Amino acid sequence: MTETLFKHMRDLPSSHLLGTGTPTCAGCGGLQALHQIYDVFGGKTVFVNAAGCMTLLSVYPFTPFRGSWLYTAMACAPAGAQGIRDALDILLEKGQISADEDLQTVVLTGDGAAYGMGLSATSSAIERGLDFIYLCYDNEGYGNTGQQYSEATPHAARTSTSKGPQGYPGNKKDLFSIWAAHKPRYVATVIGAEPLDLARKIEKAREMPGPRLIIALSPCPTGWDFSPDATTDIGRLAVRTGIWPLKEYENGKVVHTRIPRKRLPVEDYLKRQGRFSHLFEPVRKEALLAEIQGRVDAYWEGIEG
């Protein structure tokens, strides 16, 4: 019975495997992006999955991936990817596998690992020129353990550990710039709500050697407090308000791939999420709203010209 079930799962198309019967939250923006990314990658991949929301996709002895999958602790997924890539290269050199049997090495982490615990390991992997793709699904908090704030949490958002009247007092770390400062082969931001932009970037990254890093903003109905059917709308608003710039770094240059010429006010994005409801009720916090809008305006000044 087990062998029959395994054969059935192995023979399913990749688009069917991800998300069918998987214990992720309804409307998960991370899974929305991962669906699309995996359709481009295909089955010739090995995912090195740091502890987080997407770890729940795998229920022993099965995973939803047609290639291979390795679970690691939060801080060491890039180190795990190094071992896998070295092993594959040795097998290729010895002729024990052919080039057709080689696998794309993909690190899959949430923002807790990417922005925080695993950043040093990632920095070292880029420095070594590791031939891998790093995919971060960024839901702006430790979503798998109750949406505590992370180093990706935006200013003024409420989390389970930032419940004061002003929300989170810190600011979201600029991981794109930190990664780009290492001068890897490629860095890009994507979002599942903009599938054409996402597919183009993933197809480009797939064909490159060396360190390639992707950050996917991942609207989270559970942690951000919105209805699961609003995931795509909120994702589009993140782009149209300028909160989430779609851009890529390549050959020392940053290019914005989608410039919102008529940006919407940031509050159009914020007011759709319960984590920002304290900015509007019981009294509008004009100073905080102006501060958030001002930072977005400052970012785009000179880019939109």
> What mean pLDDT is predicted for residues 6-26?
48
Q: How many beta carbons lie within 10 A of that of residue 183, not counting itself?
A: 13
**Span 254-284, pLDDT tens digits:** 999 999 989 999 999 999 999 999 999 999 9
Do the bridges between strand 186-191 and strand 211-217 make them parallel or antiparallel, or are there none, so unpaired?
parallel
- Say whether pLDDT at 214 is over 80: yes
- Say whether pLDDT at 5 is over 80: no
Q: Which amino acid, residue 253?
A: K
Out of 19-23, 51-55, 172-176, 301-305, the most confident range is 172-176
- Could you give the CA distance from residue 63 to residue 12 in angstroms, rounded to a whole number? 12
pTM: 0.91
User: Is there a contact between 131 and 209 (Cβ–Cβ < 8 Å)?
Assistant: yes
**Span 67-120, pLDDT tens digits:** 889 999 999 999 999 999 999 999 999 999 999 999 999 999 999 999 999 999
- Say whether pLDDT at 42 is over 50: yes
Question: What CATH number is given for 2-300 in this structure?
Answer: 3.40.50.970
